[in-house]
Structure 1
Amino acid sequence: MNSVLQSIKGRLFLWIFLFISVLLIVRGTSIYYEVQKDIYDSVKLGLHSKIQILKGLLQEENGQISLEPSEIILGDYSIPRSGHYYKVVLDGNILAVSPSLAGDDFHLASGELESLDEDLGEKVYISTGPANEPIMVVLHDFHILNKDVVIYAARSLEAGNAVINRFIQFIIVTVPVYIAIIAFAGLWIAKRSLKPLKMFYSRIEKITHRTLGERIEIDLQPEEIKGLARSFNGMLDRLQKAFDSEKRLIADASHELKTPLSVIKTRCDILLQKDRSVEEYTRSLHIIKSTSDTMRRLIDDMLSLARLDSGVLSSADFTTIPLNDCLKQSVKLAEVLAEKGGINIQTSLAEDVYVSGNLNTLTEAFLNIIENAIKYNRPGGSVNIAVSKKGGRVGIRIEDNGTGIEKNDKEKIFDRFYRGRASRNMEGTGLGLSIASAIIKAHSGEINVRSEVSKGSCFDIILPI
């Protein structure tokens, strides 16, 4: 049963089965009561007409009331226990009685009161007749010549009940058949309706890491599945982009690590060829150490990117932090590098600016951009850092008057391991701006660059307050 409920097809079948079952049962019950009401109303109308006839046959002569029954004792009313009865009572005494009741001391109004019509002065009873048959009795009382007159007219319900019973038997037989037919039709419809979905996931199963370039043909799908196909294709796009990025990262990392490893190996091979002087050993060890430091920075940057890609920087873990503290810490960490190049760092910070984020990662992002502005600056140049509020956002501008960025390089400077022509001989890993961009975006921010060759670059960062 659980497997059926866990299946869409099974749930559709059960819902159709339950809906049709309830619908047919409710409709069958409704028709049953409608048929019974129509039959009883027909009998009631006939009895009402009979009472009116009996009432019209009452005659008054010399202050006496009599009934001439010769016109109505024919037919079923003349046959004993025929199921058609009448009785006329005058001041408690029987004035007339149908031959069908002759010899029976039977009270016609002894049953259950079904309805009362005060305007017509009629009461309707469901009772049991002289032959133990179900009957309907209509009682009409009125006054004539200050005398109480009560007319009873009754008729057997056996024929009507027989029709109702046949209808019940019909319902009992046909409703389950209809339910079964419609349920299996619903199962067939469910199978046909879900066939495109089956074809859809069969198509999905064929897509592997080797065939990530394949996509679901959206136009060929039913309207209900187009949204799912579009979402799935979007997921494949993101997966392919992630795989491509991973492949590119591995390839770039291998390439970047290959050069320093070659330097270290070459130095070691030279030192091991023959005995060297202390000065030669010292010089080679310095080269190996410098190369190792480059490798360490590269690995650290790669780990930072990997953590950012994994979503470790989540807004759920952000706290309210003072933006000035991030920038001051970044400037302090960059001072040593700035002093070596004779670069002057100037700041113009706004007071009481707080952002939601991670203090350490934002400091790292600003530091990477500031170090980039120092490295590609001219001797004795400057780096200006300014903060300004803009509505519900804060803008940070980091501007230098260095070498600038060529137009062809400007669109790629945030790509991983990308290094422009002017920076290929400079020390660095090519990951600093990529890390900065990823951190800013993780904080729901934006980063843009404006640059002009030989005049400098300006990085504009916008963060929500």
Structure 2
Amino acid sequence: MRRTKSLKIQFVWTIFLILVSTGFISGAMLLLLMKLGLIDSLSGYPIVRLVITLFSCVIIGTIISMVVSKRILKPINDLVEGTKEIAKGNFDIQVENAAMNNELSALIDSFNMMASELKNVDMVHNDFITNFSHEFNTPMVSIRGFAKQLDKPGLSDIQRQESIAIILEETERLSHLSANILLLSKLENQQQLTLKKTSFYLDEQLRMCLLLLQRLWEEKNIEWSLELTHLLIVADEELLTQLWLNLIKNAIKYSHHSGTISISCYMFGSDVKVIVQDKGIGMSDYERSHVFEKFYQGDASHQTMGNGLGLTIAARIVQLHNGKINVKSKEQEGATFITILPTA
């Protein structure tokens, strides 16, 4: 309400100043004409004097309005030009905010924010296409190459088994990629009312996830530090299992060999807080700001196994449960994923 009122006051105040300026300048000109004797010579023609007075007021008021409106309308004209550039697909544009602190200033700030977000979306879209093409093409190239290898005569049994193992691994990677894409598509189109909520103990679910991932963390000789409060919550158990699996697998993936991963869960007001912390390679500020985007991987070389969808799926699951997820990380200092969920 205060912003709307301020714009109205500014508009009324501008009109008032134009009228006062017009009257003052017109009066000054009439006094000058009277001193020169021009007005006195028309004393017998009151209509002519009135017409001259009104005409001078109109001319002076129009000139003042043109000067003032040029300054007032400049931010609006800049917004119009900026909108045209956005329509052309040029998102790298910002409008200078020279307006006073009112709705127009807020509109310019919103436009600049929109342009920045559209620029980010455009970059993410391009990265999505590039990363998806890379993720899909890499295993296909491997499968084709090792399939040709199997067709070579004189191939030893060891070489044949190695080729078969790589082909199976790459087909598993493709299968995992397609499954994650389908799951993400389902989650993005899923509404809260479709969640299959049941009551279950969160700490037991987290321990079960560790058992499911036992092979992965035993390969890296990971040690665990668990502080799990016995908590009963109401949520979609299947989706939360997927959430914890994704977060824990991510922690294992980027932990050093013989590293330590900490998991804790406890009441946080009326909500539940779950923290998954590793002491691994960590992330830069840029990586941290993009970590929940589709197909984004901090490892630009894509040498580590993954497809950049796990954390995107995790974030969507949290969103469906009206929760929050955040990450704190520094390079070579590990990463901490903090999830806050309502208990019911």
Q: 1:420 to 1:243 in 2, by over 3 A?
A: closer
| Paired position in structure 2 for 1:301 | 180
Q: 1:455 to 1:251 in 2, by over 3 A?
A: closer
Q: Which structure 2 residues correspond to residues 22-421 of structure 1 after superposition, within 5 A?
A: 252-311=131-190, 314=193, 317-351=196-230, 353-421=231-299
SS of 1:398 mapped into structure 2: strand
1:243 Cα shift?
11
Q: Tell me which of the two structures has the higher relative contact order, counting C-alpha pairs closer than 8 angstroms and 6 or more residues apart.
A: 2
Kept after mapping to 1: 8 A contact 2:191/2:320:
no
- 1:206-262 superposed Cα distances (whole Å, 9 cap, x missing partner): xxxxx998xxxxxxxxxxxxxxxxxxxxxxxxxxx9999899756643331111111
* Cα RMSD after superposing both structures: 3.0
1:271 Cα shift?
2.7
Aligned residues: 231
Task: Give the residue type in structure 1 aligned to 2:287.
Answer: D
Task: Give the residue type in structure 2 aligned to 1:301.
Answer: N
Task: Give the residue type in structure 2 aligned to 1:464.
Answer: P
- 1:40-94 superposed Cα distances (whole Å, 9 cap, x missing partner): xxxxxxxxxxxxxxxxxxxxxxxxxxxxxxxxxxxxxxxxxxxxxxxxxxxxxxx
Q: 1:316 to 1:359 in 2, by over 3 A?
A: closer
- 1:416-449 superposed Cα distances (whole Å, 9 cap, x missing partner): 1111137732111111111111111111111001
Q: What CA distance in whole angstroms lies between the structure 1 residues aligned with 2:151 and 2:191?
A: 45
1:338 Cα shift?
0.7
- 1:314-336 superposed Cα distances (whole Å, 9 cap, x missing partner): 46532233212321221111221
Q: What CA distance in whole angstroms lies between the structure 2 residues aligned with 1:365 and 1:410?
A: 18
Q: What CA distance in whole angstroms lies between the structure 1 residues aligned with 2:127 and 2:279?
A: 33
Among candidates 320, 327, 336, match of residue 449 of structure 1: 327
Q: Which has the higher strand share?
A: 1
Kept after mapping to 2: 8 A contact 1:396/1:460:
yes
Q: What CA distance in whole angstroms lies between the structure 1 residues aligned with 2:153 and 2:123?
A: 46
1:459 aligns with 2:333: no
| Paired position in structure 1 for 2:72 | none
SS of 1:425 mapped into structure 2: coil
Q: What CA distance in whole angstroms lies between the structure 2 residues aligned with 1:415 and 1:261?
A: 24
Larger Rg: 1
Q: 1:301 to 1:316 in 2, by over 3 A?
A: closer
Kept after mapping to 2: 8 A contact 1:393/1:464:
yes
Task: Give the residue type in structure 1 aligned to 2:167.
Answer: I
Q: What CA distance in whole angstroms lies between the structure 1 residues aligned with 2:124 and 2:183?
A: 15
* TM-score relative to the length of structure 2: 0.61
Q: What CA distance in whole angstroms lies between the structure 1 residues aligned with 2:129 and 2:193?
A: 25
Kept after mapping to 2: 8 A contact 1:321/1:358:
no
Q: What CA distance in whole angstroms lies between the structure 2 residues aligned with 1:460 and 1:273?
A: 52
Q: What CA distance in whole angstroms lies between the structure 1 residues aligned with 2:306 and 2:278?
A: 18
Task: Give the residue type in structure 2 aligned to 1:325.
Answer: E
Q: 1:242 to 1:405 in 2, by over 3 A?
A: closer
Kept after mapping to 1: 8 A contact 2:149/2:163:
no
Q: What CA distance in whole angstroms lies between the structure 2 residues aligned with 1:441 and 1:415?
A: 14
| Paired position in structure 2 for 1:157 | none
Q: 1:247 to 1:412 in 2, by over 3 A?
A: closer
SS of 1:463 mapped into structure 2: strand
* TM-score relative to the length of structure 1: 0.45
1:355 Cα shift?
2.6
Task: Give the residue type in structure 2 aligned to 1:354.
Answer: L
| Paired position in structure 2 for 1:145 | none
Kept after mapping to 2: 8 A contact 1:315/1:443:
no
Q: What CA distance in whole angstroms lies between the structure 1 residues aligned with 2:193 and 2:128?
A: 23
Q: 1:331 to 1:313 in 2, by over 3 A?
A: farther
Task: Give the residue type in structure 2 aligned to 1:292.
Answer: T
SS of 1:421 mapped into structure 2: coil
Q: 1:245 to 1:315 in 2, by over 3 A?
A: farther
Task: Give the residue type in structure 1 aligned to 2:188.
Answer: D
Q: What CA distance in whole angstroms lies between the structure 2 residues aligned with 1:395 and 1:273?
A: 56
SS of 1:454 mapped into structure 2: coil
Q: What CA distance in whole angstroms lies between the structure 1 residues aligned with 2:124 and 2:333?
A: 33
Q: What CA distance in whole angstroms lies between the structure 2 residues aligned with 1:346 and 1:329?
A: 15
Task: Give the residue type in structure 2 aligned to 1:376.
Answer: Y
Q: What CA distance in whole angstroms lies between the structure 2 residues aligned with 1:300 and 1:242?
A: 24
In structure 1, the gaps of 5 or more residues are: 1-210, 214-240
In structure 2, the gaps of 5 or more residues are: 1-86, 90-119
Task: Give the residue type in structure 2 aligned to 1:260.
Answer: P
Task: Give the residue type in structure 2 aligned to 1:454.
Answer: Q
Kept after mapping to 2: 8 A contact 1:388/1:394:
yes
- Between the two proteins, what is the percent identity of the paired residues? 30
Task: Give the residue type in structure 2 aligned to 1:277.
Answer: S
Q: What CA distance in whole angstroms lies between the structure 2 residues aligned with 1:378 and 1:255?
A: 26
